[in-house]
Structure 1
């Protein structure tokens, strides 16, 4: 990953793929985590305007209903459908019933965007199952969803156009700039082993970067495991955006810096749109990493080397399978 790419991710060129490049999505089913605000909300609105059936996840029924009402009002001529699933990715006990509810309603799923996430959480924050909160939310919660959704994705891939069924993991350039050197992950500090008395020794942003490296590795590993069955794995940096991820920032310096580098979230939605629909992504480059506002990019060199030469994607996948087995088997 070059300095040139890093700079271009802060100040990207104009997007080349927008909603105008989308065909009618009538009859297609999509799922977006965290669709009540920010990028996910804008993406849901775009898909719905193209007549898709869109599911969003929400932490409460009230916020889900509010988002759906606002989206419908903005695209009154749409023939699509909107539904919400209540879940908290930081609590696996809420993830499983929400996914089961989705599967009870649908027989197809054309693309899922693992879009929701948390960043800059207070030091020592943990998920319901005892993970560092950013890891538990950004990685573990989405991994469980991925496992539960894979059967319906595989079914859809059998009838959908080749290369169109995708699992999009929203990472960030934090995977490169903030994660531990080597594999992007400190393998001794990702599980529940530190939950008792754990104080967040590395600092919130290092743990955030580690979670984003996890997203990249899982997208690549998914491509490796399911590419032969025509499932496409994608990870991406949506861009530096004005979203709720900054809600834990409170210093004047941080807010001043954010004012200089943050863009409107609509641009980030274009990055996610590109990841979900661009013909530049397919079986030939399965596992690709996308940068703002819709370009093929590169991940950090040591993380890529770890995946190809040290089996880090396989290692992470198997750790998460073992740790979440009880939730997947009881679904």
Structure 2
């Protein structure tokens, strides 16, 4: 039965085509609020940042390319000339540079939410100088570094914004259903050195860390009034496959427009949510969904504690 439920969740975007529950027209006035959207120099992240900025929020966009960020800021200002938007060149594939790159956000008086949108698809099993594949560094270690650096600001913000009004969105994927068994993480081969047909499954494994982070970070700050959830943005036209090998994927015929992924990402920023439900997994559009059972169970047990220790250890190498 569980396998059938897993298959249904994996195929929901292809077969059931969930209806859109929100568009940018449904976003409330966000004047006076500040958000960070990572990986926002293109794709889903750009639209998420644009929608927030047009709704009146102050928004920081991060991306690898400064020129692309500048283009994004210009596009947002074309629609909203008074938009309070700022681009920060942040390269998750170079974790030692992250802390300095996000210093302007640390200097802010408040931060109402983070969308951990930055990510990359599976490229290959090449191990970088950091000891892990670039995919794992970008999808798991990078977000942990940013989150740890900004934790004090989030905790400060909740004092004035109020309980459950500060949100952290960890962008996951339905690909976690393809991750290895027994918790979704192959601790004996974190770099997927033996590909064995697990290319896309390896992407699912790195995004399993996003689900773990939503749960484990949410448990750590359970009584501090900060909401932490995971979101699958859907099967979306995006440039996340820019590093993926091979020809155009056949699944792309099922893709929805890029902005639809942003609708899914931003919805948990303003719908009614409680930190008591931290670790909730959302799928398009705004629906609470099931995490693969063995992954959810693992996150709350010894494997989850192991994952958290690993994330803290690896991210701590690049935080002063």
- Alpha-carbon offset, residue 127 of structure 1: 4.2
- Alpha-carbon offset, residue 128 of structure 1: 4.7
- Alpha-carbon offset, residue 208 of structure 1: 0.8
- Alpha-carbon offset, residue 200 of structure 1: 5.4
TM-score (norm 1): 0.89
Structure 1 residues 320, 250: CA separation in 2 closer, same or farther (over 3 Å shift)? closer
Contact 1:12 1:292 in 2 (8 A): no
Contiguous gaps of at least 5 residues in structure 2: none
- Counterparts of 1:253-292 in structure 2 under 5 Å? 254-259=248-253, 261-279=254-272, 281-292=273-284
1:327 partner SS: coil
2:179 partner SS: coil
Corresponding position of 1:27: 32
Contact 1:171 1:236 in 2 (8 A): yes
Aligned length: 314
* Cα-Cα RMSD: 1.9
CA distance, structure 2, for counterparts of residue 81 and residue 267 of structure 1: 23
- Alpha-carbon offset, residue 39 of structure 1: 0.7
Corresponding position of 1:235: 230
Corresponding position of 1:301: 293
Is 2:144 the counterpart of 1:143? yes
Contact 2:141 2:314 in 1 (8 A): no
CA distance, structure 1, for counterparts of residue 160 and residue 136 of structure 2: 34
Deviations 1:197-219 (A, max 9, x none): x8554543232111111100110
Q: 2:23 aligns with which of 15, 18, 21?
A: 18
Moved over 6 A (4+): none
CA distance, structure 1, for counterparts of residue 212 and residue 316 of structure 2: 20
Contact 1:85 1:102 in 2 (8 A): no
Contact 1:182 1:306 in 2 (8 A): yes
CA distance, structure 2, for counterparts of residue 61 and residue 249 of structure 1: 23
1:158 partner SS: helix
- Alpha-carbon offset, residue 22 of structure 1: 2.1
Q: 1:314 aligns with which of 281, 286, 305?
A: 305
Is 2:215 the counterpart of 1:212? no
Corresponding position of 1:184: 184
CA distance, structure 2, for counterparts of residue 185 and residue 65 of structure 1: 37
Structure 1 residues 82, 327: CA separation in 2 closer, same or farther (over 3 Å shift)? same
Contact 1:90 1:127 in 2 (8 A): no
TM-score (norm 2): 0.92
Contiguous gaps of at least 5 residues in structure 1: none
Contact 2:76 2:83 in 1 (8 A): no
